[in-house]
Amino acid sequence: MAKNILICDDAAFMRMMIKDILTKNGYNVVGEAENGLKAIEKFDELNPDLVLMDITMPEMDGIAALKGIKAKNPGASVIMCSAMGQQAMVIESIQAGAKDFIVKPFQPDRVIEAVKKVVG
């Protein structure tokens, strides 16, 4: 059965790109969110198998949203995405419970590799 994925990024074209990569590889994109607050709302509503979360977003950043999702559902699978390959961000994400980290610009095979590793 296809895995359900929630995409969270403030840039619509990024969400579109990720959605395209995922759907071409047999994954089901169940929702999209443009900031961390919406990501938490959508997570509660849709209960996806995986969340792909951007770090830098308005209203609530991805790390705060990750912590919010993990507080409600400690078993949640979240992969963080960011253009900033900053070591501190990666470490903070992993410590907060992210399963993996993808750097933008995305390499489609890297996205799929990370998703497969986390949800199969």
Q: How far is CA 64 from CA 16, 19, 41, in A?
A: 23, 23, 13
CA angle, 8 then 12 then 14, to 5°: 70
pLDDT at 18 over 70: yes
Please report, as a single letter, which amino acid is at residue 17: M
Question: What predicted TM-score, i.e. pTM, was given to this entire model?
Answer: 0.94
Summarize pLDDT for 96-119 with one digit per residue, the tens. Answer: 999 999 988 889 999 999 999 999
> Is the pLDDT assigned to residue 66 strictly greater than 90?
yes
Instruction: Say what the pLDDT of residue 25 is.
Output: 97
